[in-house]
Amino acid sequence: MDPLKTLRYRFVRYCVNRAYVNVDLSNKPAEFVNFLDDVVEELRDLEHVMAEDLNKAEQVLTGEFVEKFHQLKERDREVAKAFFSNILRNCLELEEIAESKLGGVIRRLLDEVERA
């Protein structure tokens, strides 16, 4: 399977949803949980755009994806860091993505998120 097909079929199901289930939302206000839900939905919508071609996927990851990270980080730095790190790690677990051009992009983004 090529990286684009992997993104199309697994970005939401494996990368985003898996990271979302592991977010600790205990003691978080409802307003924050609702905001996080909105961010998750917006990330899920990126799946279709990224599947167009590898360059578009790279643009989305370095643009809109990073923007969503910064929006969430403004509300809760630790949750944002954990959630987005896990999304990126989950993507790197997928061999087709890790070994493609996107693997390098994702590793750089992971470094950026973890330093934030």
In angstroms, rounded to a whole number, what is the distance separating the alpha carbons of residues 25 and 116? Answer: 20
pLDDT band at 1 (very low <50, low <70, confident <90, very high): low
User: Average of pLDDT values for 25-36?
Assistant: 95
- pLDDT top residue among 9 and 109: 109
- CA-nearest of 115, 113, 101, 112 to 4 is 101
User: Average of pLDDT values for 2-16?
Assistant: 86
pLDDT band at 72 (very low <50, low <70, confident <90, very high): very high
User: Average of pLDDT values for 75-95?
Assistant: 96
CA-derived radius of gyration, the chain: 13
User: Average of pLDDT values for 6-11?
Assistant: 84
Q: Which residue has the tokens 């919508």?
A: 45
